[in-house]
């Protein structure tokens, strides 16, 4: 497996493409705007003007796009992957999307002779850059095993979750955990600032204790510095939380913390902040940037 098609060369995808090339894979990419991927083209990625031109002859095709509608488009629309990839190709969707959509791609792809996996990732832009992503894989286990070396070029914590759609369910569980943890960090910082504490001292004091978390480590310093640049877009986190609530409702679950955090984020998105990073949740509490 050496020739890889890659669709969705954004914040995460660009680093994943680079790491695949470093490992020796031949990367064929498609992006809607060529200018946005000129850097990886100059580094050796082969650009194609359409999916139809990109995917034939590839051993595997990886997608990591924005929203479920984008996944539908690249797989099912005229000129899409299912219409143009060669039978026997491994189709790996690494977007966080609907488990039901993952099952649909698996069913129709399998009928056409493809090997289909849903393999969403977690670890953000830092994990993508460092090839330390966690990769949550659903599909046939033998297909998962066949793609292990490919996954190892992008991540270090790679686990088989179960049948088609289970990778997406695992990722949504991950996003539910993040919602609670990050909202706790933001509430604590807003409280501490309102009481006149030095947030840098507070961070140093609590980050190694029971209150410590990956979310605090990743975003505490950024919040203190007023850095809201996206490693992961707020608007994409809103999408993920909505997917999780839909699935929870289908199972008769009431996830009250998730519902509250989603409503907070939606309010910020309606204010035009959807392209900021998830750490911008602190703005919900109307706290002035610390650097100010």
**Cβ atoms 114, 83 nearer than 8 A:** no
Neighbouring-strand partners of residue 30: 7, 48
- Catalytic residue list contains 14: no
Catalytic residue among 171, 235, 239, 283: 171
**Cβ atoms 103, 164 nearer than 8 A:** yes
**Residues 6 or more apart from 156 whose CB is under 8 A from it?**
131, 132, 133, 134
The DSSP code for 270 is I
Nearest to 261, CA basis, from 175, 194, 190: 175
Distance CA 275, CA 269 (A): 8
Tokens of 17: 């493409």
Distance CA 77, CA 74 (A): 6
Tokens of 1: 């497996």
Question: 């977007």: which residue's tokens?
Answer: 95
Give phi and psi for 134, each to the nearest 5.
-90, 130
Q: Check residue 123 and give left, alpha or beta (phi > 0: left; psi -120 to 50: alpha).
A: left
Strand 115-118 with 133-139, pairing: antiparallel
The catalytic residue positions are 171
């Amino acid at each position: 497996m050496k020739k890889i098609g890659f669709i969705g060369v954004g914040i995460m995808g660009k680093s994943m493409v680079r790491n695949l090339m470093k490992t020796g894979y031949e990367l064929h990419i498609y992006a809607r705007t060529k200018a946005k991927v000129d850097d990886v083209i100059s580094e050796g990625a082969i650009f194609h003007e359409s999916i139809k031109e990109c995917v034939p002859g590839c051993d595997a095709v990886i997608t990591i796009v924005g929203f479920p509608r984008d996944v539908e488009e690249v797989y099912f629309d005229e000129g899409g992957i299912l219409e143009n990839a060669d039978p026997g190709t491994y189709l790996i969707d690494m977007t966080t999307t609907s488990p039901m959509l993952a099952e649909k791609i698996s069913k129709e792809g399998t009928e056409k002779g493809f090997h289909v996996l849903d393999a969403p990732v977690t670890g953000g832009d830092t994990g993508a850059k460092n090839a330390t992503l966690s990769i949550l894989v659903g599909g046939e286990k033998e297909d998962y095993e066949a793609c292990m070396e490919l996954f190892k070029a992008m991540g270090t914590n790679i686990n088989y979750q179960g049948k088609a759609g289970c990778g997406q369910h695992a990722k949504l569980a991950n996003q539910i955990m993040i919602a609670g943890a990050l909202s706790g960090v933001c509430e604590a910082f807003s409280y501490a600032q309102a009481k006149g504490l030095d947030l840098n001292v507070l961070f140093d004091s609590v980050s190694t204790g029971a209150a410590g978390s990956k979310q605090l480590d990743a975003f505490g310093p950024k919040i203190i510095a007023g850095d809201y640049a996206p490693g992961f877009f707020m608007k994409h986190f809103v999408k993920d939380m909505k997917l999780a609530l839909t699935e929870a409702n289908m199972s008769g679950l009431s996830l009250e913390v998730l519902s509250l955090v989603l409503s907070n984020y939606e309010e910020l998105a309606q204010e035009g902040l959807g392209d900021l990073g998830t750490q911008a949740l602190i703005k919900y509490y109307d706290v002035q940037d610390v650097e100010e």
